[in-house]
Chain A
């Protein structure tokens, strides 16, 4: 794997930031020709895109299109799976994410993740948030840090009087916001969200979406979602993935189109994207 300079000419239409408020000026992830396979089975093939700073970038597409596989490349979560192989270039602020001497533990400390199913630790609400900072040596002002994280995740008012209670007693939506607070508490640069609302009811989902709007001021967010409307509501940029069937009958995910969310949903360049966003397929 090589470490080429970011070729800014390749950003093409995306070179101009879209928000006009200073967000999106810098590139956080520059991904080129990314392929991921599990024990020889290709899950995602030749994906190239750039994730911009303080943007919400949504990955959408049907099941099996490799979007979850892709998002797990960013925090090297695929390293934990036996037989997983990542090929191509993934630059994080111009540095090779898969280069020699890069410790995945250090990567994950900077690039947080929220999972599909809320997965709080079977500990108190307070300890759920405090665990990361404690382990990572951020012990100063721990109470304030916990409060700030819970406030950022719009959960503080609901739990401030029951911080010592087991987190598993919270509702599903509250648990997911707790998981977001837990990720925030270690001050990451990027937050990855792998279908964060797919296990939640509509009201909890809308609260998570509001939260994403607030968080993008401070964080770069990449979100995988099944729900097209959700992508349309929260994302600045949207990447549409699809499934490609090979001659040998195997199937793998491909990145079909990556553009501003408004463009993807109103005037996509690829027929497959259009079919998907208009509901003709998937």
Chain B
């Protein structure tokens, strides 16, 4: 760019053009705003964790994990809710995961691009259905007339889990290189066998990441369980045809209690739930890292 003026003037990069000061100020203000927002976001998590830790930690003891919720005043724990939650989330996984993986396999390996796109939108909408709507749906369809049961609770959580796992799996399958499938197909291997033996094993880390995040999410869901598995005895039970106590419903019930001891137990139960979610999220990171290592062959 040749402009008028001496070389001294043209190439003098220490000279500030007009308006540079204002532009730099805007730049700094913008950066500061970004930093502040990030600090607030981290702060909110810190505040939630800190509060739950502060209010709940002192209540934690071995008996808190091994004893069921007390009937009256006496010291008790959340063993009944832990067992119930484990059973319901376990059943939910058994219902949702195979189904979700099959949907994802269909989308990425068999369906044409157009139908796959439609399915993706459908799953995203299903993913956006509020948990309470799913709860009332299962309540109206199954619970009315039959009574609550852990199975119905698991089913309503499975409805929430299905789109999460299906979309996560489908996204992982989509990044498995096409060349890997071609390598298998070119050997005279059928498509389903290629999917089972080559594609899914290569994607397993990513699928587990999606599953773990979904488990962490549904384990804390309360609304559907209020409809389907909330009227339960405070005892450890494995009878899934009846309502079972669960961790999120227990937190809700504890916190509604007039008894300060029970309120404290509610905080402790919340701490257990949050601890579980944190562990699951760390696990998800481990799976994701593991998967990257496998595919890159390090």
B-binding residues in A (CB < 8 A):
75, 77, 80, 82, 105-110, 112-113, 115, 117, 119-123, 131-132, 135-136, 166-169, 179, 182-183, 186
Contacts and interface: CB of A to CB of B under 8 A. Distances in A.
A251 to B, nearest CB: 25
Given A115-B179, A119-B179, A122-B297, A105 B184 contact: no
B188 A132 contact: yes
Contacts, number: 77
18 contacts: A80-B185, A105-B189, A108-B186, A108-B188, A112-B186, A113-B186, A119-B177, A119-B180, A119-B183, A120-B183, A121-B183, A121-B184, A121-B202, A122-B201, A131-B189, A136-B187, A167-B297, A168-B296
Contacts of A135: 187, 189, 193, 197
B113 interface: yes
Contacts of B295: 122, 168
A219 B38 CA distance: 63
Interface residues of B, number: 23
Interface in B192-207: 193, 197-198, 201-202
Given A166-B297, A168-B296, A168-B297, A121 B180 contact: yes
A142 B269 CA distance: 56
B90 to A, nearest CB: 30
Interface of B, helix, strand, loop or mixed by DSSP:
helix
Interface of B: 112-113, 177, 179-180, 182-190, 193, 197-198, 201-202, 294-297
Interface centre among A106, A109, A113, A135 (most CB of B within 10 A): A135
Contacts of B296: 168
Contacts of B187: 108-109, 112, 131-132, 135-136, 182-183, 186
Nearest to B113: A82
B109 to A, nearest CB: 11
Contacts of B183: 115, 119-121, 179, 182
